[in-house]
Amino acid sequence: MTHTKIAIIGGSGIYDIDGLQGAEWTTVDSPWGAPSDAILSGTLGGVEMAFLPRHGRGHVHSPSTVPYRANIDALKRLGVTDVISVSACGSFREAMAPGDFVIVDQFIDRTIAREKSFFGSGCVAHVSVAHPTCPRLGDACEAAARDAGITVHRGGTYLAMEGPQFSTLAESRMYRESWGADVIGMTNMPEAKLAREAELCYASVAMITDYDSWHPDHGEVDVSEIIKTLMGNADKGRDLVKRLPALLGADRAPCPHGCDRALEYAILTRPEARDPELMAKLDAVAGRLL
Ligand SMILES: CSC[C@H]1O[C@H](OP(=O)(O)O)[C@H](O)[C@@H]1O
Ligand SMILES: Nc1ncnc2[nH]cnc12
């Protein structure tokens, strides 16, 4: 049994969370660069919590320049066990309406300009991301959303695009009709892949702000419209977050889905062939095995 430490990565519109006891913003150093911002730590209902605004307070990082590796490494260094992303997204489904939340369980990664792994030359590792989110955390997010009276859809495929521009109409139609994506955003990849490499359970709560550009009755995406929906979603998202500690509890058994053991057989590079510089940077992410 270990202690639960829940991290919330807040997306667009969520730059803090309320109700934390002993709340303090602290700067965490990471060998992977500076995280998006300082991290707010405290306890909620006796459970340790950490909060990191993905784009930084003031929204300074674009989806392509969010320091995803530094963020996940910093959370791991703080002793986080479970990561919950709370993000804005567009919807490809009539029934998934603006204001609804989706507990995402799959991703299509269309990002092209981001560092996607902690591993590489000098320490090669291949983890499975066939099931990139943790169903146990998904259960808690779904229950928290229902308790908060939020319309929530369990399961959905999130298409991660590079951005920062929104999709063309042709792309929007292709993602929806041919690729079967349910929602679209710009940030959950490589975040989810990196969380898996760092052996952290990861869940994604996608808060719908718009119908992207495919919907004949809604026209193209308009940021001023998105922002109106985003504000209401952010309040609901914060309400959901407050309910998570009671659902997850302070004591944590090994993840029944193996998220916290993802690296067990993943590292291929022989110990004598490993690059000492890279190994030093991996002290938090892979320290358990090195
Ligand atoms: C608000 S418009 C687009 C922007 O919002 C989402 O950010 P996040 O996932 O951090 O909530 C989306 O991915 C885009 O980055
Ligand atoms: N339609 C959309 N496409 C990509 N990211 C988004 N974030 C919110 N709405 C979005």
Annotated catalytic residue within 82, 100, 109, 212: 212
User: What is Dmax (Cα atoms) for the chain?
Assistant: 61
What digits encode the pLDDT tens for the residues 30-79? 999 999 999 999 999 999 999 999 999 999 999 999 999 999 999 999 99
pLDDT surpassing 80 at residue 185: yes
CATH number for the domain whose boundaries are 2-289: 3.40.50.1580
Ligand 1 centroid to residue 75 C-alpha, Å:
20
pLDDT surpassing 80 at residue 274: yes
Q: Report d(CA 217, CA 226) in Å as an integer.
A: 16
Mean pLDDT of 263-273: 98
Q: Could you tell me the pLDDT band of residue 222, with boundaries at 50, 70 and 90?
A: confident
Neighbouring C-alpha atoms within 13 Å toward the C-beta of 249: 6
Ligand 1 centroid to residue 211 C-alpha, Å:
14
Which residues are CB-neighbours of 266 under 8 A, at least 6 positions away?
Answer: 125, 126, 127, 197
Beta bridge partners of 195: none
257 known member of a binding site: no
- Ligand 1: residue of 87, 111, 227 to mutate (most ligand atoms within 8 A of CB) is 87
Alpha helices in 54-178 (DSSP H): 68-77, 135-147, 169-173
139 is catalytic: no
Q: Is 36 helix (H, G, I), strand (E, B) or coil?
A: coil
Q: Report d(CA 188, CA 192) in Å as an integer.
A: 6
- For the chain, which residues make up each domain, given as ranges? 2-289
Q: Could you tell me the pLDDT band of residue 248, with boundaries at 50, 70 and 90?
A: very high
Mean pLDDT of 200-229: 94
Ligand 2 centroid to residue 234 C-alpha, Å:
15
Ligand 1 neighbours, Cβ below 6 Å, are 11-12, 54-55, 63, 87-88, 163, 185-187, 226, 230
pTM: predicted TM-score of the whole model, two decimal places: 0.98
Q: Is 195 helix (H, G, I), strand (E, B) or coil?
A: helix
Ligand 1 centroid to residue 106 C-alpha, Å:
17
111 CB neighbour count, 10 Å cutoff: 20
Q: Looking at ligand 2, which residue's alpha carbon is closest to its atom 4?
A: 185
Annotated catalytic residue within 37, 100, 210, 260: 210
Q: Looking at ligand 1, which residue's alpha carbon is closest to its atom 14?
A: 186
Q: What is the pLDDT of residue 48?
A: 98
Average pLDDT, the chain: 97
212 is catalytic: yes
Which ligand minimizes its atom distance to the CA of 61?
Answer: 1
Mean pLDDT of 220-239: 93
Q: Is the CB of 260 under 6 A from ligand 2?
A: no
Contact 49, 41 (CB under 8 A): yes
